[in-house]
Structure 1
Amino acid sequence: MSLTIDIHSFSYKKGGIPKDETGNGGGFAFDCRGILNPGRIEEYKQQTGCDTGVQEYLETKTKMPKFLELVKSLVSINIDDYLSRGFENLQINFGCTGGQHRSVYSAEKIAEFIREKYPQTTVTINHDEQPQLNHQK
């Protein structure tokens, strides 16, 4: 039995916090709307959090690095505990206004962090508003 961590990016405006379909009752929901929105800058409007320009903007012009360091600390507490207790599911959700830039970036970066730190887990990513990105990784 292993721990499956389901990570979602979503839009607060379009669909709200994703429902946990595992019966576990939820998990984390992190609100990225307090981070400057690259979607308000013309050159990034059509891009997503998987695009290099958006990533560089978030990493150098916003407080996203600090935000994600704090998220890593919080989710690690639960992952450590869930692994020691044999839990099977954890959901981690990142929401922003449109579910395109900040939440997508956050979901990808946290998935990368978890895969490196906890290779014994299974990590899935669902970009609820950007389904074209779901086939990646």
Structure 2
Amino acid sequence: MLHIDIHSFSYKKGGIPKDLTGNGGGFAFDCRGILNPGRIEEYKSQTGNDAEVQEYLETKTEMPRFLELVKAIISINIEDYLARGFENLQINFGCTGGQHRSVYSAIKIAEFIKEKYPEGTTVSLHHDEQPQLNTKVISNH
């Protein structure tokens, strides 16, 4: 079983999350090149889990293209790790505050993995700066 640990984080507050599995790695994707909805007054108190922020990211930024490229890159490793019996992979998404872009990216990639790799994986999702959004392990059997 491949366990995939996904984090959203803030480059300013905590930096790239440590890999606690002892593998020492995984992916760290920088979302700061995407327009920041946090700079728009109506979105400042919201997160990447809110529908209005998601719509902004999907229609007014390069986020859809960014995530398509991320999906292509991580799929190479997931498929290889499944074939070789690896047990852990970490995928991190960072932005300035860990509130909008990184949260959205982490959620969407967790959904993608659950849909594309329903067999042989479990996913845990951690929002390091938004703990109120954290969920339990999503199992795929």
TM-score range, shorter chain: over 0.9
Paired with 2:113 and 2:41, the residues of 1 have a C-alpha distance of: 32
The CA deviation at 1:135 is: 3.2
Q: Percent same amino acid at aligned positions?
A: 83
How many residues end up aligned between the 2 structures?
Answer: 136
Within 2, Cα distance between the matches of 1:132 and 1:26? 26
Look up the SS of the partner of 2:14 in the other structure: coil
Match of 2:130 in 1: 130
Relative contact order (alpha carbons < 8 A, sep ≥ 6): 1 or 2 greater? 1
Give the match for residue 48 of structure 2. 49
1:1-137 pair list within 5 angstroms:
2-120=1-119, 121-135=121-135
Compute the TM-score of the two structures, normalised by the length of structure 2. 0.95
Query: What amino acid is aligned across from residue 70 of structure 1 in structure 2?
Result: L
AA at the equivalent of 2:41: E
Q: Which consecutive unaligned segments of at least 5 residues does structure 1 have?
A: none
CA distance in 2, matches of 1:129, 1:66: 25
- Give the aligned CA root-mean-square deviation in angstroms: 0.9
CA distance in 2, matches of 1:91, 1:24: 9
Q: Structure 1: how far apart are the matches of 2:58 and 2:50?
A: 12
Q: Secondary structure at the match of 1:36?
A: coil
> Match of 2:38, SS?
helix
Partners of 2:125 and 2:135 within 8 A in 1: no
Structure-1-length-normalised TM-score:
0.98
Structure 1 counterpart SS, 2:91: strand
Consecutive unaligned residues in structure 2, runs of 5 or more: none
The letter of the residue matching 1:106 is: S
Runs of 4+ with deviation above 3 angstroms:
none
